[in-house]
Each structure stands twice: as C-alpha cells, then as structure tokens.
C-alpha cells in the first residue's frame, strides 16, 4: 500500500514542562515550577528551541495545505499565545491550512487561565486536549502532577464555556486508569466526574511503567502494586459501559467520543496515513517510513544541520507503508483491519499464531476484518500485538521491499 499523497497533517513537539511526572518517559525538558515562557525562568531556553523548530519547518519538504495540526509535549500551554501563533503562521506560510483544519493544543491545568485560553483560540487553536489524569488530589500527588483537582475542575469550566460559545470546536479530557491501589468504586467516581464535565471526547490510558521513570524505580523496589490483570479487564469494561451510557462511543483502544468529536489528527496515525513531524523527539511518518528526531536539544540541533544535506523524497521513490505498521495501528481501531488488502504475506500463519487468543475471546473476525474484542481484547491488546511482531520477524523476508509506484 503506497503513500499516494504527501501528508496533510503535522505534529509539533513542545518539550518544555514544569516538572517530569513519575510515569513520563517522553522527550521533555523540565524547567521548574516557576517557569514562564515570555520573560522569566526558562524563557531563554524556550526562545532558543522555537528558533530551531521554525528552522525545521522552513526547510521541510513542500506539501499540500494541512487538514490537522497537533501541538504535543511536554506542556505546550507553557508557551505564550503569541509563540503558538508564530508556529501556526510558519506552517501556514510553508503549507497553508485547509479551511476547517483541526488544530489541537495539549494543555495542563494550572498552566493557563481563561484569558490565555481565549488568546490561544484567537490565534487559531480550535481543539484542546486537557491533561487532567485524575480528579483525586492524592492520586495527582502520587503521579507527580503539578496541578490539583480544583485546577482541573476550573479548567473544565473554561473549556465548557468556550465550547458552548462556539469559539472552541471541541476538547478532550485525559484520564489514567489501572493505577496502584485503584478499585472499581474509585474508578467509577472518576468516570462520573469526567462525564459531568461535558467533555465531548475522553482519552483513557492504562498506566504504563516505562524504563527510567520514577514508577519503574518504585516497581523494582516492590513499591508499586498495580491492579491484577483480571481487575484491569473489569475496569476497562466499566469504562466502556459508563461512557457508552453517557453517549461517548469507543473508536480506538484508549479513545471515546460523542458523534463528530473523534480526533481527526489521531485517526491519521491509526489509519496508516502519513504526517509531518517537527521538533526534538518527534517522529514523522511521511513517505512510508518513520523518521525519529533526537531526544535532546543538543542532538536535535546537530540533526537539523545534517538534514540540510539530505534530498527530499520524490513521488517515484515513496516506499509502501510497512505491513507490520498497518497491522499494529489497524488493530487499535474499533473497525480493525483486513489482512488481504494490505498485502499481508501468508495471513493464515498469523491467524494460526492468534488461535489461542481467538479461543480466549481476545480477537475476532467480523465482516472480513480482524478486531480486538471489547473489552477483553482491548484490555489485553499487548498480548495480541506482541504476536504480530513475532510473526513479522518470522516472515520479514516475505515483506515487500520494492517501491510501489504512486
């Protein structure tokens, strides 16, 4: 399956945050709780980085007007509205923005006020992803979060007001489930509070313990008791039931939305389409291959110098989307993936690897498409995806390597 078009989506990584949360392994630059983007602690670092980011945008391959833009981090809301506006202006000058483009900014409670939200909207932000994670102060403290539940509730009220007025097209609220010591009653309370905010989109992520994090060190010490697998499945089932009853349907493993509020940008990733990536630690997915940037500012600066000597790909040399990528992202979606249309080599061998998972009710075929079951398969998706990777290693010599003409 070739990339027939240049990407129409862009991801910009803003690495700065006040502090690194205990579960975070992203490419971030903590600046301290007193950091200010315009004229205060950390402001010089931010200005220096933005110069690099603008340089990368200016030197990027040409492409059609963008239909989605996503500012992730880090805490992009640390930047001033004018700084976000300058980045959007650079994208507009280089690519153009389609009318009605979805432009999302990740924001953390306690990193902005209502006036700043309106200023950001005035510069073109029309969708916000709010990093709430929990309405419980004890949980927020245990996660290493800077904000408190009162900050989150206030931020949600500002989102409601902007959404009702029509100035903000949509917004999403993040929550983390399967936390240490979490019980069904506690999680039900969190879900009810999230639903009460009126958020038209919820992202509900399982806690993942990553190498090098505070949580990983706690786990090694035996000081991090995560819920057992059976409880994790029950919590995900509870999530699905409660959100469905509230009118939010699941369209991907971790994402639920009211009609018309699914994230267009994230669906680009999960559909296997391409995207531009900019910034330290960002990965682009243009031209059929993943291109990660270095995870430090020094490495990113040196990488930018090297990239100026690399010719831009031409349509005749765009490779196909790797089949393992198509499978991994396709299985995350509710609609699943069909094996034959993506050129899956010897699909029966993959189905055979899944046989025990099919018998356990984690994977099923419906209307010719293979899907993770909901909630069991979604909750235990890693078991299915690991089998995809092992299968791909076994048959990688059968994967197509020649470019497919566009």
Query: pLDDT per residue over 245-278, tens digit each?
Result: 999 999 999 999 999 999 999 998 887 788 999 9
**Euclidean distance between CA atoms 298 and 39, whole angstroms:** 23
Q: Work out whether strand 369-372 and strand 363-366 pair parallel, antiparallel, or are unpaired.
A: antiparallel
- Helix then strand then coil, in percent of the chain rounded to 5, is 45, 20, 40
Instruction: State the pLDDT at residue 317.
Output: 52
Split at pLDDT 50, 70, 90, the class of 89 is: very high
What's the rounded mean pLDDT across residues 212-232? 93
pLDDT higher at 129 or 328: 129
Give the per-residue pLDDT at 404.
38
71 pLDDT higher than 80: yes
Q: What ranges do the domains of the chain cover?
A: 9-271, 323-398
More confident residue, 380 or 225: 225
Q: Is the pLDDT of residue 309 over 60?
A: no
What mean pLDDT is predicted for residues 301-306? 94
Fold of the domain built from segment(s) 323-398: Arc Repressor Mutant, subunit A (1.10.10)
DSSP string, 162-229: HHHHTSS-EEEEEEEES-TT--HHHHHHHHHHHHHTT-SEEEEEE----TTSHHHHHHHTT---PPPH
Mean pLDDT of the chain: 90
CATH 3.30.750.200: does it fit domain 9-271? yes
Least confident among 185-189, 196-200, 229-233: 229-233
- Residue from 194, 209, 204, 117 nearest 163 by CA: 117
Does residue 138 come out as left (phi exceeding 0), alpha (psi in the -120 to 50 range) or beta? alpha
Higher pLDDT, 150 or 230: 150
Which of these ranges, 171-175, 188-192, 337-341, has the smallest mean pLDDT? 337-341
Beta-bridged to residue 369, according to DSSP, are 366
Q: How far apart are CA 239 and CA 96, in angstroms?
A: 39
To the nearest whole percent, how much of the chain has pLDDT over 70?
93
- Across residues 378-405, what is the average pLDDT? 70
Backbone angle region of 136, left / alpha / beta, with phi > 0 → left and psi within -120 to 50 → alpha: beta
pLDDT for res 1: 43
List 320's β-bridge partners, or say none: 2
Q: 393, 375 in Cβ contact below 8 A? A: no
Q: Sorting pLDDT into bands at 50, 70 and 90, what band is 319?
A: low
Q: Which of 180-184, 270-274, 314-318, 338-342 has the highest mean pLDDT?
A: 180-184
pLDDT value at position 142?
Answer: 97
pLDDT at residue number 339: 87
Higher pLDDT among residues 18 and 272, named by residue: 18
Antiparallel, parallel or unpaired: β 283-284 and 291-292: antiparallel
pLDDT per residue over 25-36, tens digit each?
999 999 998 888
Each residue of 337-391: pLDDT tens digit? 888 877 777 888 889 889 999 999 999 999 989 999 988 888 888 888 888 888 8
Is residue 90 scored above 60 in pLDDT?
yes
Question: Please, what is the end-to-end C-alpha distance for the chain in angstroms?
Answer: 9
Q: Which helix (H) or strand (E) holds 306?
A: helix 297-307
pTM: 0.90
Among 13-22, 116-125, 244-253, 381-390, which is the least confidently predicted range? Answer: 381-390
Over residues 231-256, mean pLDDT: 94
Band (pLDDT 50/70/90 cuts) for residue 401 is very low
7, two tokens = 């990407």
What pLDDT, on the 0 to 100 scale, is given for residue 400?
A: 47
The Cα 87–Cα 47 span in angstroms is 12
Mean pLDDT of 130-138: 98
């Amino acid at each position: 399956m070739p990339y027939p078009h240049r990407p129409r989506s862009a991801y910009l990584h803003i690495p700065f945050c006040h502090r690194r949360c205990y579960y975070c392994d992203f490419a971030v630059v903590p600046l301290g709780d007193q950091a200010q983007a315009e004229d205060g602690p950390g402001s010089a670092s931010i200005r220096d980085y933005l110069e690099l980011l603008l340089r990368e945008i200016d030197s990027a391959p040409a492409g059609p007007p963008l239909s989605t833009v996503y500012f992730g981090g880090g805490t992009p809301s640390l930047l001033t509205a004018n700084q976000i506006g300058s980045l959007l202006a650079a994208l507009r000058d280089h690519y153009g923005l389609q009318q009605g483009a979805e432009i999302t900014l990740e924001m953390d409670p306690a990193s902005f006020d209502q006036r700043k939200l309106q200023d950001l909207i005035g510069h073109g932000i029309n969708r916000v992803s709010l990093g709430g994670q929990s309405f419980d102060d004890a949980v927020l403290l245990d996660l290493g979060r800077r904000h408190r539940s009162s900050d989150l509730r206030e931020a949600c009220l500002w989102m409601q007001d902007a959404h009702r007025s029509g100035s903000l097209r949509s917004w999403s609220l993040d929550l983390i489930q399967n936390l240490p010591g979490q019980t069904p009653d506690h999680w039900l309370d969190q879900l009810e509070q999230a639903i009460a905010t009126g958020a038209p989109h919820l992202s509900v992520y399982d806690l993942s313990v990553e190498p090098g994090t505070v949580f990983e060190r706690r786990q090694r010490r035996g000081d991090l008791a995560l819920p057992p697998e059976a409880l994790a499945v029950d919590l995900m089932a509870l999530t699905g039931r409660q959100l469905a009853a509230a009118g939010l349907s699941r369209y991907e493993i971790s994402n639920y939305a009211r009609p018309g509020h699914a994230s267009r940008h994230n669906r680009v990733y999960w559909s296997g389409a391409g995207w531009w990536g900019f910034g330290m630690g960002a990965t682009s997915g243009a031209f059929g291959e993943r291109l990660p940037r270095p995870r430090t500012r020094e490495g990113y600066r040196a990488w930018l110098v090297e990239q100026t000597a690399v010719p831009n790909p031409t349509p005749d040399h765009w490779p196909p989307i790797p089949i393992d990528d198509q499978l991994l992202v396709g299985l995350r979606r509710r609609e699943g993936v069909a094996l034959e249309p993506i050129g899956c080599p010897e699909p029966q061998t993959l189905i055979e690897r899944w046989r025990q998972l099919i018998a356990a009710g984690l994977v099923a075929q419906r209307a010719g498409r293979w899907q993770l079951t909901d909630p069991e398969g979604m909750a235990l998706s890693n078991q299915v995806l690991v089998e995809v990777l092992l299968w791909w290693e076994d048959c990688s010599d059968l994967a197509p390597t020649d470019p497919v003409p566009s």
